[in-house]
Amino acid sequence: QDPGFASQALISKKLNDYRKVSPAGTKPDSSPKGPRGLGIRAEFLKQAGTSAPRSPRQDAAVTKDESSSQKAPWGINIMKKNKKSAPRAFGVRLEECQPAPDNKNVPLIVEACCKVVEDRGLEYMGIYRVPGNNAVVSSLQEQLNKGATEINLQDERWQDLNVISSLLKSFFRKLPEPLFTDDKYNDFIEANRIEDASERMRTLRKLIRDLPGHYYETLKFLVGHLKTIADHSEKNKMEPRNLALVFGPTLVRTSEDNMTDMVTHMPDRYKIVETLIQHSDWFFSDKEDKGEK
């Protein structure tokens, strides 16, 4: 037998066997990747039930949409969380101030300042009359207006009594609604001018008791503090009259104070605050309400 013919027959047999395995004449793919040309991502999509593969641009768009849908709830939550900012201390109404822990109707800043003065300044000569360093006072105001929920009394700035006393006066001076309120300001001025002493006192007391909750409680707290200062006037030289000269124009005023009122009502402002300090127990005691409030 011709060796060349035998070799040709063997080749033909192998070729026929190969064609029987792969009728289309292509090499069978034994890898787990799936049909040729689809690739790993296409096979994954096919198994997931996707009808056809997407282009890279389409995939990028889908990924972006999915990312946005996942992040949207977080964005909403963050906005809701930050919507309500921390309470400021200066230039806002009393009811919007950060409250003191022991009395929700008294601002934290008022309680803190009074505490510092009573702890270290009861015998300090000229307390509330001597101004503090303006730069330091402004620095504390800025810090407190950032929404501090706690006050660090160990801060060096809180060690200067003149700074703290000026800070307290500044707080009341910057109130958009004064402590005696715009609505009742003229009533207080008229009450102070009542000639009969007993009637004057009763009318003032009634007006004080009719103040809104935050204003009444803050006035009560402040007057009690000023009474404590006055009780040590032998050392600090700040009798009720002197304290009234300092606090009268700051407390008894209108939100739009004009020069005419400042001049014509100044004696009344002094006298009202002086009277409150002198008779603080009677004005703010609940024992003698007699149905007045």
Q: What is the mean pLDDT of residues 15-32?
A: 50
What pLDDT, on a 0 to 100 scale, did the predictor assign at position 261? Answer: 87
Query: What angle do the packed helices 213-230 and 266-278 form, to 10 degrees?
Result: 80
Q: What percent of the chain has pLDDT over 70?
A: 67
Residue 288 has pLDDT above 80, yes or no: no
pLDDT (tens digit per residue) in 130-174: 999 999 999 999 888 886 656 777 778 888 999 999 999 999 999
**pLDDT > 90? residue 210:** yes
Higher pLDDT, 258 or 187: 187
Q: Is 251 a member of any domain?
A: yes
Report yes or no: 252 and 134 within 8 Å, Cβ to Cβ.
Answer: no
- Mean pLDDT of all residues in 15-24: 55
Average pLDDT value for residue range 233-262: 94
> How far apart are alpha carbons 268 and 276 in whole angstroms?
12
CATH number, position 272: 1.10.555.10
Which of 62-76, 113-127, 230-244 is predicted with the least confidence, judged by mean pLDDT? 62-76
Q: Does 10 map to a domain?
A: no
71 has pLDDT over 90: no
Give pLDDT, residue 217: 97
Tell me 54's DSSP state: P
pLDDT band at 14; cut points 50, 70, 90: low
Q: Is residue 44 part of a domain?
A: no
Q: Is residue 121 in some structural domain?
A: yes
Average pLDDT over residues 93-109: 91
Q: What pLDDT score was predicted for residue 211?
A: 97
pLDDT at 246: 97
**Does pLDDT of 282 surpass 50?**
yes
Note the pLDDT of residue 196: 98
Name the percent of the chain lying above pLDDT 90. Answer: 53
What pLDDT band is residue 83 in, cutting at 50, 70 and 90? very low
Mean pLDDT of 237-252: 97
- Structural domain contains residue 247: yes
Q: Which residue has the higher pLDDT, 9 or 251?
A: 251
Res. 253: pLDDT tops 90: yes
**What does pLDDT average to over the chain?**
79
Is residue 19 situated within a structural domain?
A: no
Q: Cα–Cα distances in Å, from 140 out to 144, 178, 286?
A: 6, 21, 36
Whole-model pTM over 0.75:
no
| 106: three-class secondary structure by DSSP | coil
How many residues are recorded in the chain?
293
Number of domains in the chain: 1
pLDDT at 62 over 50: no
| Any domain includes 81 | no
Mean pLDDT of 83-106: 82
- Per-residue burial over 138-161, b if 16 or more Cβ lie within 10 Å, else e, is eebbeebeeebeebeeeeebbebb
Residue 167's closest CA among 233, 218, 214, 112? 112
Residue 152 is predicted with a pLDDT of 75
- Indicate whether 264 belongs to any domain: yes
Expressed as residue numbers, the domain containing 160 is: 94-284
Region of poorest pLDDT, from 28-42, 53-67, 163-177: 28-42
